[in-house]
Amino acid sequence: MPKKTVINSLADLPAIDRKSADVNAVIETPKGSRAKFEYDEQLCLFKLGGMLPEGSMFPFNFGFIPSTRGEDGDPLDLLVLMEEPAFTGCLVPARLIGVIEAEQTDEDGKTMRNDRLIATASHSREHADVESLKTLSPHVIEEIEHFFVSYNQVRGKQFKPLGRHGAKRAKKLLEAGRRRRRRARANGQ
């Protein structure tokens, strides 16, 4: 019998499911939520990271891809399109369809890349035929960008979209995030 690997943290799950080749998306904040939840790797739990203003809510399920690291030091961010809200901590098999590459400037004026990978839930009926950002309504992408611009503005940060790219570019960023995570782990981080 093969030896089972014990995973101590959601952040240590594989980024890609070996059997299906789907991206493993861990949902932090469900679609429709005003509460922003964040996964704390040290505590191995989700905590409240903030509240959106009245009338604002996450347009889609938002989370991260485990076993990755973005330029900001956090796991890669991922927006998952599906019909219904997931729940905080839910593992959603997903297909990458693109990325909104962006820069984010924090309250201290430090600017870094903070891209938003976009995927569809593998079990989504409504988005089953969506293969790339180009097959989504342009209004959906504009609304996603506007959400992140206004969300960051309320938090005293600036979010500047740099470009929209397809699944091929998103997969390259995913692989770079996996390499960044492996290097960090090798260095004891």
Rounded average pLDDT over 30-34: 98
Is 48 a domain residue?
yes
Domain for residue 186, yes or no?
no
Residue pLDDT, tens place only, 106-152:
888 899 999 999 999 999 999 999 999 999 998 999 999 999 999 99
- Taking a C-beta distance cutoff of 8 angstroms, is the pair 78, 15 a contact? no
Q: Has residue 185 been placed in a domain?
A: no
Domain contains 1: no
Asked whether the beta carbons of 46 and 39 are under 8 A apart, the reply is yes
Strands (E), 52-172: 61-65, 76-81, 91-105, 111-113, 116-121, 158-166
Q: Identify the CATH number of the domain in which residue 173 sits.
A: 3.90.80.10
Q: Name the average pLDDT for the chain.
A: 93
pLDDT in the model for residue 7 = 62
Residues 68-85: what's their mean pLDDT? 95
pLDDT per residue as tens digits for the range 47-64? 999 999 999 999 999 999
> Does residue 7 sit within a domain?
no
The number of domains in the chain is: 1
Reported pTM: 0.92
* Domain that residue 111 falls in: 15-179
Q: Does 175 map to a domain?
A: yes
**Token pair of 82, please?**
């599906």
The CA-based dihedral angle spanning residues 74, 79, 85, 86, taken in that order and rounded to the nearest 10 degrees: -50
